[in-house]
Every structure is written in structure tokens, then in C-alpha cells.
Structure 1
Amino acid sequence: MDRFLLMTCFARAVETGSFSAAARDMGLGQPNVSRYVAALEDHLQTRLLLRTTRRLALTPEGERYYAEVRRILDAVTESESSLRNEAQPTGLLRVACPTALAHAFVLPQVPNFLSRYPGLALDLQIGDRYVNLVDEGAELAIRIGHLEDSALRARRIGQFERVCVASATYLARHGVPREPDDLRAHDCIVYTLLSSGSMWRFRDGEVPVSGRLRVNSPQAVQEAVNAGVGIAYGPRWLFDQGLGSGNLQLVLTGHEAPLVPIQILYVANRLLPKRAIAFMEFIAQAFSTIELLNASRASIAA
């Protein structure tokens, strides 16, 4: 049996979430897709998918195999495109992106991107969970912070300042912290997916914080600080509206940590498809025009 067909059926079943959706996508009957995936599992002597009445779920072995299958299928598509000398990128591009950054800056650029490249589809995986590019099949990840994985390469597309803010009503009730250590006595809104955990970074080091509210959503941090729940810490652009209206005030100015880079990451030893290069160029250009994503200490001081 054609192993390439089996691999394609498996990949589309994973990406569409069901055998029936994969069958419609490929123009095959649903029983055929199910049979082809079962044949692939039989060939590998490994269970790749857990089947329930509601959905398909990858086994750990299936996750690893899917990443390799996706790489192979993408390489074939890219090679064929090169031989046909196609000028425009085509296919499905998977990009992982943090929640707040996606909603504030990436999603507004998507209509123009898709309009510019009509042969391309975008799977934008929005979330603050760490996505392993090597194992999970995404070609690109937009990440906040410095690169720590030697298997990846990075292109910087912006940088921003992390700040502490609080509402005027909160500061009137509890006072204004003057030094980072003063935060120990304040109600801090803890974002549980922050890479440094409950440690907030400042120019001279880190300070442990705590508070009565812990959330796993940047939007929840934004809403809570505007409601006067406590002191928040995060990208300046997350609080820009509240600062502009006067509802929020900056605190601990002069103690800010170094600027935080925004980077697009990709796997170093993997062929980068034309569609991924097109996305990187497009987003880098778009971000270069956004002042909030191109902070400098000189502009902040001014």
C-alpha cells in the first residue's frame, strides 16, 4: 500500500480532528481514511491515535510520529513547488503565538497576510503553553524572551518594556510602592504562566510577589488591575489603554528590567518552507511600524 497516502491520511486526521473531516478534505470515503490509518498503525506496530465517539487524540508515540510526518510532507510540497518554480508560497502554515500578543498585534495583520498570499492557509495556535517546535509540527513560534534552546534559531521582530501598574483607587487605599521590595507588602496579581513564576524582574534583581488573585490569562490581569484588585506586572502595551485613560498609573519607574525581545523561532536543522519565510518577512515588517513593539530606553525616558 502507498505509504505516502497512509501518512497523508494520518496527518489530515490529526489536523482536522476526525476521519470524516479528513475524508472530505482528501476526497476519500471515511471508511477508507480510517482503514488507511489503521494500516499505518499496523505497519508501525504502534498505536498512534486514541479513538472515542467524540474525537481523536494522539498517543505520545503519535505526537512524535506526527511531527516527523508533517516535516516529510512539508519537504515534499516545498520540493515540488521549487521544481514548478512557483512564485507564491502555498500550503498550510502552523504558527504558535502567545495569547496577548496574538490578540493585540498578530490577528489584526492576518487579513492582509492571507490576502497577499491566496494559496496559503494559516493555523495560528494561540496560547501561552510552551510549544515544542521539534516535536509538535508547528513551523514557527512567536515567543517573548530570550532563546534558550540550541536546536532553534531566532529572528528578533521587536522588543518591549515590562512595567508595574496599579489603579489610582488601589494606590489611594494601599499606598505607592517606592522600591521593588515594597511589593512584598502589596496585593499583587500573579500571572501563573509567567516564565519566572511568582518572581518579578527588575533592574537590580528579582522580587517574590504574592496576592489573593492568580490567573492564567493576560486579559484577566488587565481587567483585574483596572478594577483595582492589586498591582500588575507585564508588557506596557497590555496596559496602554488604562494608562492612556488615567485609570492606571505606572509604579516603580526607574527600576525596570532590561527590555524584553519578541522573536520568531524555527528549528535550525529543518528545511524552512517558503510560506514560513513569507510569514516571517511579513510580520517583521508589520511589527517594525508599531511603536509599542519597538521600545528603547531613550524613548521611554523621553
Structure 2
Amino acid sequence: MDKLLWMHCFVRAVETGSFSVVAREMQIGQPNVSRHIASLEKSLGTRLLHRSTRHMVATPEGQRYYAQARHALDIISQAESDAHGEQDPHGLLRVACPESVGSELIIAALPGFLERYPHVDVDLRLGDEYIDLVAEGVDIAIRGGTLKDSALRARRVGTSERICVASDAYLQKHGLPRQPEDLLRHQCIIYTLLAGGSGTWPFKNGPVPVSGRTRLNNLDGIRRAVLQGLGVGYLPSWMIARELRTGELRALLTDHATAPSPLNVLYSADRLLPQRAGVFIEFITKVFADTPGLNGTSLV
């Protein structure tokens, strides 16, 4: 039992690069983390980590041991889950997802999931920023776009339609853009986490650079800014379904829109996917399948 605890401390220390983070995760003091890893090194007869006041890095022996220990811990976790039975997954599931998806869709559906799987707890981390799944100890992340990180695997759970929109008040004052290039003369609300905040929007015949006086790192903030008449926004259509129906917002340049982009669940390619994660993926796939704008059904 002690060696499993030592192994867990070491694995998370490598993944997070911080004894203090491991201590918080495991709810033990930082000196205990250091002591457990020292005990593991003593039992193995080799140094696993190089430590300094600023840095911590695995030795070559530590790197080899980490890969095998990570795999061993995953197998133990899976064995425990299997022992409970396929219909009764257990444990804490850590999920990262965009704030808009989490706030508007997942939280609304979460009571049904928790009722169906009473022994699964969910740690939902909302934010649009990229995170390192391994370092943050996250099981799965929901993200849009094409997978570029070979250390991750992706499972498609939907497709996201994005469109340009503006309020009538803004259009009455600034006119209606009829071609993507017309946006060069408009106030566009920049999403700073899209393509590095470069201010380039994709269209069927190629990207168009846009600019504006308002920049935000949150999609719901952009939706609210568009409603206030601050400019043209580029948003997932499911987020503004109500506003499109009521006429509060108007879809623009729909003939020039690109095809919907994939919405994926991402997880580490080097780790076994916990059973609790598998049932959650199935659950949210059904949620997205019932959401126009995420299920292949266009809202424009």
C-alpha cells in the first residue's frame, strides 16, 4: 500500500512539476510528498528526480520508471472500476471544457448523469484556455477544431457551426456587409483565444483579417457585446439560437460560411480511458446530438 502511495506521488510530481500541487491534490502536506518520493527512490536504489530550488526534472531512470508506473496505476484504476461492474463506474472524473459549453449545456444535463451514475463525482473545469491534460490531472477535455497534439487522442462528439452576427442597431448605423471583405470596414469583436487572437476569420474562399476596438477572451462576453451593438461577432450558432429566433441578432454572410468544425473529446494517448470517462462521453454525445448547431443541423 505504501509503495502505491509513493508511486502515485512520484507520477503526479512528474506530471505537474510541483510537490505543492501534488500535496493539494492528495490533501497531504508537501513534506510528506517529498518524503514519500524519497522512500520510493530508496526502495528502488536509484534517484528518480533532480531537484533544485526552482526546477524538478526526472532523471533518465525516473523517465523510464514514470512510463511504467503511470501504466500500472491506470491498470489498477481500471481493475477497480471493472470489479464494480460495467454498469456501475466509480471515482472522480475531471472534465475540462469551454465555459459556454459547460455553463449552457453540460451543467443543465449533469443532474441526469449523476442520477444515472451515483458513484461518479464530476470536477468540471470551465475555461476557454488551452490546458495540459496530464499536468492538470484532467481525464478528458472538450474542444473544438482539429487535433494537432500527437500526445492526445480525439473522439468526435459533434460538429460546431460558427457564423457572423450583428444586432439591428449596429447594422442600421454601419450598414450590412455583403462580402467577407466588407468586414475590413466594420467593427469586429475579436476573440483573443481564436487563432492566437490574430483577428482572422475563416470563410469559404479563404480567411479575412478583421479588426475592432473590442477584444474578449470569452465567447459569452462576445455574445453580450454583439447584443449591445459593439460590432460584428463570430460565434457558434447554438449559443445564439434564441437571439436568432427573436430577431435580436441577424446572421451575416451565411453563403460564405465554412463547413462546421469538429467538436471532440480529447484524452491522453498514453493512458487508459477510465470507465467513468467512457460513460460520460456517451452521455454528452447524446446531449450534443439534441442541440441544433452542434448536431449537423444548421440554424441559418
Tell whether the structures are fold-level matches, with TM greater than 0.5.
Answer: yes
Q: Distance in 2 between matches of 1:108 and 1:16?
A: 34
Deviation sequence 1:146-175 (CA, Å, 0-9, x none): 222333322221113211111101111111
What is the number of residues matched between the two proteins?
Answer: 281
Give the superposition deviation at 1:83.
4.6
- Relative to structure 1, the CA distance from residue 183 to residue 46 in structure 2 (aligned partners, 3 Å threshold; closer, same or farther) is same
What SS does the aligned partner of 1:205 have?
coil
Structure 2 gap segments, 5+ residues each: 42-47
**Residue pairs, 1:13-32, within 5 angstroms:** 22-23=26-27
**Residue pairs, 1:152-301, within 5 angstroms:** 152-195=152-195, 197-296=198-297
What SS does the aligned partner of 1:250 have?
strand
2:109 equivalent to 1:109: yes
Q: Distance in 1 between matches of 2:92 and 2:86?
A: 16
Give the superposition deviation at 1:40.
3.4
Q: Distance in 2 between matches of 1:107 and 1:127?
A: 14
Q: Distance in 2 between matches of 1:75 and 1:126?
A: 28
**Residue pairs, 1:91-130, within 5 angstroms:** 91-130=91-130
Cross-structure match for 2:34: 38
| Residues 98 and 127, structure 1, Cα contact 8 Å, conserved in 2 | yes
| Residues 236 and 293, structure 2, Cα contact 8 Å, conserved in 1 | no
What SS does the aligned partner of 1:158 have?
strand
Runs of 4+ in 1 over 6 A off after TM superposition: 12-18, 67-71
- Relative to structure 1, the CA distance from residue 173 to residue 193 in structure 2 (aligned partners, 3 Å threshold; closer, same or farther) is same
Structure 1 gap segments, 5+ residues each: 24-29, 51-58
Identity, % of aligned positions: 42
Q: Calculate the TM-score normalised by the size of structure 1.
A: 0.80
Greater Cα offset, 262-271 or 163-172: 262-271
- Relative to structure 1, the CA distance from residue 71 to residue 124 in structure 2 (aligned partners, 3 Å threshold; closer, same or farther) is farther
- Relative to structure 1, the CA distance from residue 71 to residue 224 in structure 2 (aligned partners, 3 Å threshold; closer, same or farther) is farther
Q: Which amino acid aligns with 1:38?
A: S
What SS does the aligned partner of 1:291 have?
coil
Give the superposition deviation at 1:133.
3.0
**Residue pairs, 1:124-143, within 5 angstroms:** 124-143=124-143
Q: Distance in 1 between matches of 2:209 and 2:159?
A: 24
Q: Distance in 2 between matches of 1:135 and 1:101?
A: 23
Greater Cα offset, 220-229 or 158-167: 158-167
How large is the Cα RMSD of the aligned pairs?
3.3
Q: Distance in 2 between matches of 1:249 and 1:291?
A: 17
Give the superposition deviation at 1:86.
6.0
Cross-structure match for 1:56: none
Q: Which amino acid aligns with 1:89?
A: P
Give the superposition deviation at 1:61.
4.8
Greater Cα offset, 264-273 or 171-180: 264-273
Deviation sequence 1:91-134 (CA, Å, 0-9, x none): 11111111111112111111111111111111112111112334
Q: Calculate the TM-score normalised by the size of structure 2.
A: 0.81
What SS does the aligned partner of 2:4 have?
helix
| Residues 188 and 232, structure 1, Cα contact 8 Å, conserved in 2 | yes
Q: Which amino acid aligns with 2:114?
A: L
Q: Distance in 2 between matches of 1:215 and 1:93?
A: 30
| Residues 189 and 230, structure 2, Cα contact 8 Å, conserved in 1 | yes
Give the superposition deviation at 1:191.
0.7
| Residues 114 and 120, structure 2, Cα contact 8 Å, conserved in 1 | yes
| Residues 6 and 36, structure 1, Cα contact 8 Å, conserved in 2 | no
Give the superposition deviation at 1:35.
3.8
Give the superposition deviation at 1:287.
1.8
| Residues 133 and 139, structure 1, Cα contact 8 Å, conserved in 2 | yes
